[in-house]
Structure 1
Amino acid sequence: MDRNQMIGLGLIAALLITYAIVFKPPVTEEDLATPTTTEQAAVTTPQEEASQEETNTPLPEAIATDYTDKYGVFAAGAQGEATDLTIENEVAKFTFSSKGGIIKSVELKDFKTWDGRPLMLIDEASTSQSLTLQTVKGNINIADLYFKASQNGTNLVKGDSLQFKYTMDLGSGNSIEQIYSIAGGSYVVGYEIKINGLNSTIIGDQMNFVWAHQMKRYEKNLSDSRIKSTIKWYTLAEDLDDLKASSNDIQQEQLTEPLKWLSFDQKFFNAGIISEKGFSGALVSTEVPVQDTTIVKTGEMRLAIPVADLYSGSQLKYYFGPNNYRILKKVTPGYKENIYLGYKMVSWVNKLIIIPLFQFLEMYISSYGVIIMIIVLIIKLALFPLTRKSYLSMAKMKALKPELDELKEKTGGDQQKMQQEQMKLYREMGVNPISGCIPMVLQMPILFAMFFFFPNSIELRGESFLWATDLSTYDVLFNLPFTIPFYGSHVSGFTLLMTVSTILYTWSNNQVSTVQGPMKSIGYFMPIIFMFVLNSYSSGLSFYYFVSNIITFGQQAIIRRFVDEDKIRATLHENKKKNANKGKSKFQQRLEDAMKAGQEAKKQQKPKK
Structure 2
Amino acid sequence: MDDQNKNLILATALSFIVILVWFVLFPPPEAQAPADAPVAQTDAGQGVTTPAPAATATTPTDIATDTETRQAALADAPRVPIATDRLSGSISLLGGRIDDLSLNDYRTTLDDDAPIVTMLSPVGSPDAYYALYGWAAGAGLDPSAVPGPNTEWALAEGDTLAVGSPVTLSWDNGAGLRFTRTIAVDQDYMFTIDQTVTNTGDAAASLAPYGILARHGVPSDAKNFFILHEGVVAMADGELTETDWDDIPDLDVDAREGVPAQRIENATNGWIGFTDHFWMATLIPDQATPTRLSTKYLPQTEIFQTETVLPTQTVAPGGEVTVQSRLFAGAKEWEAIREYQDQGVDRFIDSIDWGWFFFLTKPIFWLLHELNQIIGNMGVSIISLTLIIKAVLFPLAYKSYVSMAKMKELQPQMEKLKERAGDDRQKMQQGMMELYKKEKVNPAAGCLPILLQIPIFFSLYKVIFVTIELRHAPFFGPFQDLSAPDPTSLLNLFGLLPFDGPEPGSIMALVFIGILPLLLGISMWLQQKLNPAPTDPTQQMIFAWMPWVFMFMLGGFASGLVVYWIANNTITFTQQYLIMRSQGYKPDVFGNIKRSFARKAKSDGKG
TM-score normalised according to structure 1 size? 0.66
User: Match for 1:123: what amino acid?
Assistant: S
Gaps of 5+ in 2: 1-49, 52-75, 252-259, 316-320, 492-500, 586-593, 601-607
* CA drift at 1:179: 2.9
Deviations 1:49-101 (A, max 9, x none): xxxxxxxxxxxxxxxxxxxxxx99xxxxxxxx953222433222252222212
Deviation for aligned residue 1:170: 2.3
Unaligned runs of 5+ residues in structure 1 are 1-70, 73-80, 290-297, 573-609
Which residue of 303, 308, 322 corresponds with 2:307? 303
Cα gap change, 1:553 to 1:404, in 2 (>3 Å): closer
Report what 2:244 is aligned to. Answer: 244
CA contact (8 A) 1:212 1:300 kept: yes
Cα deviation per residue 1:124-183 (whole Å; 9 max; x = unaligned)? 2322456573575557761211223343234756xxx45443221224541233232322
Query: What is the rounded CA distance, in whole Å, between the counterparts of 1:281 and 1:329 in structure 2?
Result: 22
CA-CA distance at 1:210 after TM superposition: 5.5
Task: Give the conservation status (yes or no) of the 8 Å contact 2:162–2:184.
Answer: no
For residues 264-275 of structure 1, the aligned pairs below 5 Å read 264-275=274-285
| 1:283 paired to 2:295 | yes
Correspondence 1:396-545 to 2 at 5 A = 396-405=406-415, 407-408=417-418, 413-416=423-426, 418-464=428-474, 465-477=476-488, 478=491, 479-480=501-502, 491-506=513-528, 508-510=529-531, 512-514=532-534, 516-545=536-565
Q: Is the 8 A contact 2:86 2:188 kept in 1?
A: yes
Name the CA shift for 1:255/1:435 in 2 (closer, same or farther; >3 Å).
same
Alpha-carbon distance between aligned partners in 1 of 2:486 and 2:154, rounded to the nearest angstrom: 50
How big is the shift at 1:305? 1.0
- Greater C-alpha radius of gyration: 1
Distance in 2 separating the partners of 1:286 and 1:229:
21
Structure 2 residue 363 is matched with structure 1 residue 341: no
Partner of 1:602: none
Please give the per-residue CA displacement for 1:561-584, whole angstroms capped at 9, x wherever unaligned: 323148799999xxxxxxxxxxxx
Which residue number in structure 2 is paired with residue 18 of structure 1?
none
Q: Report if aligned partners of 1:487, 1:532 keep a CA contact under 8 Å in 2.
A: no
Q: Which residue of 1 aligns with 2:106?
A: 111
1:551-566 pair list within 5 angstroms:
551-565=571-585
Cα distance change, pair 310–329 in 1 and its aligned pair in 2 (3 A): farther
Contact 1:232 1:243 survives alignment (8 Å): yes
Q: Which piece of structure 1 moves more, 275-284 or 383-392?
A: 275-284
1:395-419 CA-partner distances (Å, limit 9, x unpaired): 1223334554555566665444544
SS of aligned partner of 2:149:
helix
| 1:257 partner SS | strand
- Report if the CA contact (8 A) 2:91-2:98 is conserved: yes
Q: Which letter does structure 1 place at the counterpart of 2:239? A: D
Partners of 1:342 and 1:226 in 2: CA distance = 11
- Asked if 2 retains the 8 angstrom alpha-carbon contact of 1:225 and 1:267, the reply is no
Letter in 1 for 2:480: T
Partner SS, residue 341 of structure 1 = coil
**What one-letter code is carried by the residue in structure 2 that aligns with 1:503?**
W
- What residue in structure 2 maps to residue 319 of structure 1? 328
Conserved in 2, the CA contact under 8 Å of 1:232 and 1:338? no
Query: C-alpha separation between the residues in 2 aligned to 1:96 and 1:373?
Result: 45
Alignment partner of 1:189 is 2:198: no
- What amino acid is aligned across from residue 119 of structure 2 in structure 1? L
Query: What's the offset of the Cα at 1:110?
Result: 0.9
- Alpha-carbon distance in structure 2 between the residues aligned to 1:370 and 1:148: 53
2:3 paired residue number: none
**For 1:360 and 1:528, how far apart are their aligned partners in 2?**
34
Task: Answer whether contact 2:211 2:283 (CA < 8 A) is retained.
Answer: no
The AA in structure 2 aligned to 1:243 is: T
CA contact under 8 A between 2:503 and 2:509: conserved in structure 1? no
Cα shift readout 1:399-442 (whole Å, capped 9, x = no counterpart): 33455455556666544454455444433433222122223333
CA-to-aligned-CA distance 1:244-289 (integer Å, 9 cap, x gap):
36x59966552122452222211111122122335424234499x9
- Larger RCO (CA under 8 A, 6+ residues apart): 2
> 1:113, CA displacement in angstroms?
1.0
Select the residue among 139, 143, 152 that pairs with 2:149. 143
State the AA in 1 paired with 2:473: E
Equivalent residues, number? 473
Partner Cα distance (2:95, 2:262) in 1: 27
Q: What amino acid maps onto 2:351 in structure 1?
A: N
- Could you tell me how far 1:122 is from its partner in structure 2? 0.7
The answer (yes or no) to whether the contact 2:233–2:351 under 8 Å persists in 1 is no
Of 386, 390, 401, the match for 1:376: 386
Identity %: 24
Is the 2:229–2:353 contact (alpha carbons within 8 Å) kept by the matching residues of 1? no
Distance in 2 between residues matched to 1:342 and 1:545, nearest whole Å: 21
Structure 2 counterpart of 1:168, from 168, 171, 187: 171
1:93 corresponds, among 64, 88, 94, to 88
CA-CA distance at 1:321 after TM superposition: 1.5
1:102 aligned partner = 97
Q: 1:522 to 1:408 in 2, by over 3 A?
A: closer
Could you say which residue in structure 1 is the equivalent of 2:373? 363
Q: How does 1:2-17 map to 2 (within 5 A)?
A: none
Q: Using the alignment, how far apart are the partners of 2:373 and 2:325 within structure 1?
A: 34
Q: 1:263 aligns with which of 250, 273, 278?
A: 273
More helix by share: 1
On the 8 A contact 1:264/1:299 being kept in 2, the answer is no
Structure 2 partner of 1:234: 234
1:383, CA displacement in angstroms? 2.8
Alpha carbons of structure 1 residues 199 and 307: separation in structure 2 relative to 1, 3 Å = farther
Answer whether contact 2:158 2:165 (CA < 8 A) is retained.
Answer: no
Q: Which amino acid aligns with 1:153?
A: D
Q: CA deviation at 1:393?
A: 0.8
Secondary structure of the residue aligned to 2:173 is strand
Q: Secondary structure at the match of 1:342?
A: coil
**1:153 alignment partner in structure 2:** 159
Deviation at 1:308, TM superposition (A): 0.9
Question: Which structure 1 residue ranges, 4+ long, deviate > 6 Å from structure 2?
Answer: 198-206, 224-227, 566-572
Q: Distance in 2 between matches of 1:513 and 1:388?
A: 19
- 3-state SS of 1:535 partner: helix
* Structure 2 residue matching 1:280: 3-state secondary structure: strand
